[in-house]
Amino acid sequence: MKVAPRVILLFRDTSGFGTAIFEALQPNANSNLRRREESLDLSLERYGIKDQKVSVEIVHFLDGSNLYEVSVLLLENYKPPTLACALNEVLSLLVGDGSSNMPTIVAPFFVADTKLKMENRTSFGVDNISVYGLQVGVSSGLTKALITNLQGPPPSLQIFHEELACLLQLARVLKMPTLVIIGKKGQKLHCKTSEDELQVIHEIGQHLASFSSLNFSAEKIAWDATKSLRETQEPWRALYG
């Protein structure tokens, strides 16, 4: 699969964050970039999974000379163990033959602070930093440039978010130049729209725009914090409404 040197990898998570970012990244008004859309259905038969395929929605942004500037991938939401197989299939396709033309990946996540913890078992949200950057795999000029504008997470960070943990592990194994942007999401929400959450999403979007030379259209973001909260609570809470 042909992709740009810069790839933004998103997940179609149930909260709608990945889809919102996917739609909000647009060409700058004064640029000559144009969109090219495609979709992929990749087989998982080599993993013994015959009744399911990997679905990926892709938007490439090309310049006036038809050169690929940035590719944005939106991967369907999968549960373990299919998640690891699906993500490995997509990343392996991006790696190709492992040549020097391997793209740099930036993957944003919006994660409940209860799923980001430190060794002392306190919440990752003990400080006032909302967005972190974590570089994994082989470093590249692009990851080095972007990581300078992001605060690194504490060394004792423990991750209990399935998609994020899976991506970190596979990126290390495949030695892909990867930067993960982690926005933390609070749990104590009492209104439909949280201004704090929107601010974090906008900050993530601005980092993605600086990486990709695209425009982050904040007005396209519609965030339902109440829905987000329900879907990140422990499963047992569903028994009580």
Residue of 90, 88, 111, 150 lying closest to 18 (CA atoms): 111
Q: In what order do the strands lie in the sheet with 131-136?
A: 34-43, 53-62, 68-75, 6-11, 104-112, 178-185, 131-136
The pair of three-digit structure tokens given for residue 236, joined into one six-digit string: 């047992």
Bridge partners for 185 per DSSP: 112
Evaluated on CA atoms 55, 60, 66, 69, the torsion sign reads: negative
pLDDT at site 128: 60
218 — pLDDT class (breaks 50, 70, 90): confident
pLDDT of 176 reads 93
Other beta carbons within 10 angstroms of residue 196's beta carbon come to 12
**Total Cβ atoms within 10 A of residue 214:** 24
pLDDT at 102: 87
Q: Which amino acid is at 185?
A: K
- Cross-strand bridge partners of residue 82: none
Average pLDDT value over all residues in the chain? 84
pTM of the model: 0.86
- Look at residue 241 in the predicted model and tell me its pLDDT: 34
Which residues share a beta bridge with 179? 106, 135
Q: Residue 60: what pLDDT?
A: 97
Q: How many residues does the chain have?
A: 241
66: pLDDT strictly greater than 80 = yes
pLDDT, tens digit, 9 for 90 and up, residues 121-149: 444 544 566 899 999 998 888 888 888 88
pLDDT at 40 over 70: yes
User: How confident is the model at residue 160, as a pLDDT?
Assistant: 93
In this structure, are residues 22 and 61 in contact, taking their beta carbons and an 8 Å threshold?
no
Residue type for 62, please? L
Q: What value does the mean pLDDT take over residues 31-56?
A: 94
94, 174 Cβ separation under 8 angstroms: no
Mean pLDDT of 113-124: 68
Nearest CA to 129 out of 26, 213, 61, 200 is that of 200
Please report where in the chains the tokens 């725009």 appear, as a residue: 209
Residue 211 has φ and ψ, to the nearest 5°, of -75, -35
Taking residues 83-109, what's their average pLDDT? 89
Q: CA nearest 14: which of 205, 238, 224, 206?
A: 224
CA dihedral 167, 184, 150, 145 (to 10 degrees): 30
pLDDT of residue 231: 47
Average pLDDT over residues 31-37: 93
The mean pLDDT of 112-123, rounded to a whole number, is 71
What's the pLDDT tens digit per position in 159-208? 999 999 999 999 999 999 999 999 988 754 444 446 788 888 999 999 99
- Which one-letter amino acid corresponds to residue 196? D
pLDDT tens digit sequence for 78-94: 999 999 999 999 999 99
Q: What average pLDDT does this structure show over 39-59?
A: 95
What's the DSSP call for residue 97? T
Q: Is a pLDDT exceeding 70 seen at residue 96?
A: yes
